[in-house]
A and B are shown apart, each in its own frame.
Chain A
């Protein structure tokens, strides 16, 4: 089992550009969540996808969007990049459903630098 995988590992972009990050969940998991971790901070929830739909969203602007594919993999898109978007972006997967206590399994992250 490869666990949660993310690509690319590192990325450097210029202000105003757009970026797409990718995530493959752990085998058997159908729910994908995305988090932003700024330097020295705890991860902040961006959104969660289940059954190819955004189920929950954190306090992030519409510049942040996502997608989940039928094979449960997911993409995070960020438009009009700002310097403040520089962070480690973490993907986490878990089994689906609500009302059940599930831990989330995290990928190694994508380090995005905006210059």
Chain B
């Protein structure tokens, strides 16, 4: 069975400081992992994806995530937060063997303080 745990429901950072959003996953198979962002009243936008290639994945808007199999983690980072990064972030795991059903975490709300 697949599942995702987002360890923080809310994260608050100052503009220009690093961002760390934590995600642990559970999967009985080599999973594919994703981070999506959801701005208020907007659809879900893909930030980045891990698909068993390089363990350090670079995404849009300066975000990165590192796949650590030994820790079953896929934390999202950004060196310097921008006001426009304030949004809800979702970590997602899927099993490509079964049609890529997505399992979402409960989300982390990121606040950026000016």
Contacts and interface: CB of A to CB of B under 8 A. Distances in A.
Interface of A: 4, 31, 33, 35, 40-45, 48, 50, 55-56, 58, 90, 92, 94, 98-109
Contacts of B61: none
Q: Which 8 A-B pairs have the closest CB atoms?
A: A42-B104, A101-B51, A106-B44, A101-B32, A108-B43, A106-B43, A43-B104, A56-B99
20 contacts: A33-B100, A35-B102, A41-B106, A43-B102, A44-B104, A45-B101, A45-B103, A48-B100, A48-B101, A92-B102, A98-B96, A101-B49, A101-B51, A102-B100, A103-B34, A103-B49, A104-B100, A105-B46, A106-B44, A108-B43
Consensus secondary structure, chain B interface: mixed
Contact of A94 (B36, B44, B97, B100): B100
Contacts, number: 68
A90 B99 contact: no
A110 to B, nearest CB: 11
Nearest to B30: A101
Given A90-B44, A105-B46, A45 B102 contact: yes
B53 to A, nearest CB: 9
Given A105-B46, A107-B43, A99 B97 contact: yes
Interface string B3-44: 000000000000000000000000000001010100000111
A104 B102 CA distance: 9
B99 A98 contact: yes
Interface in B80-111: 90, 96-107
Given A50-B99, A56-B99, A42 B42 contact: no
Given A41-B107, A44-B104, A90-B44, A55 B99 contact: yes
B94 to A, nearest CB: 8
B52 interface: yes
